[in-house]
Amino acid sequence: EGKFSFPNSISDATNFASLFPHSSSMIFGVVSESLLDGTGGLFLGLVKETNSWIRPSFLGQSDVGAFSVDLREKEGVDKSLTLYGGNRQPQQALNNPSHAIPLIRDLNRRFGDATIHYVGVASSLIVNGYNLATSSRRSKIYVIFDTGCSGMSISTSLFNERYSIARERRENNLWGNVEFQFSTVSGGLVSLNARKPLTTTLDDRPWGKRLDGHLIVLGLAFLEGHEMTVDINSDKIWFD
């Protein structure tokens, strides 16, 4: 627990105070030097809501209601994180509400996840042109959007299924071209793609309960080149 401030990056002190009204005493994780090869540092995640029996998240101690992570390559413009609170809303929520992908809280409410991750349901997962999985009422593709992940992590059962299919089809690459498709609130389609993403496996029971489908963590391999905007209060996410 300690004092929190952005002395060199926040020019609007009034806006900072409105986002972090309790900044004089906040709880946050400190990564040990052994993990960061001697540099140390703070570990500030972007998940806001958690169950009451665990320590509060960083944003859970703020009045932040939305944020944007801009990972687009633009000459002369740095990649950025923008936080919104109070009366401030991201442009996506104001200008493109129908392009939003709905976020769900099933992992927390039904399967024991102690945090409210930013989770969407993918309509389909296509690998090397083959439709590996499709969401239905009884089986869903739960996708956690995570800027802290470099590639993707996938349920062990789905990984093994993909391996069997690749052998049967005599494919040269297990995860060559990977595409996730999501339905927007207006019925449109948003695709996130990656070429040869680093892929690891997840336990099929990450919180002790078997999911009614598959769990995938989608990382930077899919998010680079996009601006990801999350409206925490209305459970929506946009990609530009």
* pLDDT value for 202: 95
pLDDT at 28: 67
Among 121, 232, 113, 111, residue whose Cα is nearest residue 180: 121
What whole-number distance in Å separates Cα of residue 210 and Cα of residue 107?
11
Q: How confident is the model at residue 11, as a pLDDT? A: 44
Question: E strands within the chain?
Answer: 29-30, 42-43, 64-70, 80-85, 101-102, 119-127, 130-134, 140-145, 152-155, 177-183, 189-195, 199-202, 213-218, 227-231, 236-239
- CA atoms within 13 A of residue 94's CA, in its CB half-sphere: 7
pLDDT at 34: 63
Q: Are 119 and 135 in contact (CB under 8 A)?
A: no
Q: How far is CA 77 from CA 10, 11, 230, 235, in A?
A: 17, 18, 21, 28
Enumerate residue ranges in the chain where pLDDT < 70. 1-15, 23-24, 28-44
CB atoms < 10 A from the CB of 88, how many?
A: 14
Q: How many CB atoms lie within 10 A of CB 16?
A: 18
Distance CA(225)–CA(209), nearest Å, equals: 35
What is the average pLDDT score of the chain?
87
Predicted structure pTM score:
0.88
What lies within 8 Å, CB to CB, of 87 at 6+ separation is: none
CB 31 within 8 Å of CB 40: yes
Extract the tokens encoding 142. 């739960």
Query: CA 196, CA 215: separation in Å to the nearest integer?
Result: 19
Q: What length is written for the chain?
A: 240
DSSP conformation class of 59: G
Torsions phi, psi of 166, nearest 5?
A: -65, -40
User: 54-67: per-residue pLDDT in tens?
Assistant: 888 888 888 999 99
